[in-house]
Amino acid sequence: MASSPLPLEALKYISDLFHYTTVTRYLTASGLVLLVYDHILTLSTEISLIWSSPPSFSKYLFLLNRYLVPTALLLIAYEMNAFANPHLTDQE
């Protein structure tokens, strides 16, 4: 018994899925680059104002927020770009 080809709607859905996945990957990468760029630009101010200040809840909350977000984005980018599983790439 011969298998029937996929209907046109299913092929369009799969094509759109790959397109939106690629767009999401690029947007994640661009957001990460902008965030790292911002961190580089403001690092000297952070060192002079935050690191030299006395310990406080707000200081630790700021540092947690400042360094947890890029770490999470790096992990997400790592997973989305298939570095964790090379079998999930769009390459043949």
Q: Check residue 49 and report its DSSP letter.
A: I
7 pLDDT more than 90: no
Q: How much is the pLDDT for 27?
A: 87
Q: What is the mean pLDDT of residues 57-80?
A: 90
Instruction: Choose the weakest-confidence range: 10-14, 42-46, 59-63, 66-70.
Output: 10-14
What are the tokens at 17?
Answer: 């899925």
Q: Judge whether 70 and 36 are in contact, CB under 8 Å.
A: yes
Question: Is residue 89 a part of any domain in this protein?
Answer: no
Residue 82 lies in a domain: no
Mean pLDDT across the chain: 84
Q: How many domains does the chain have?
A: 1
Share of the chain above pLDDT 90, in %: 39
Is 35 part of any domain? yes
Mean pLDDT of 18-39: 88
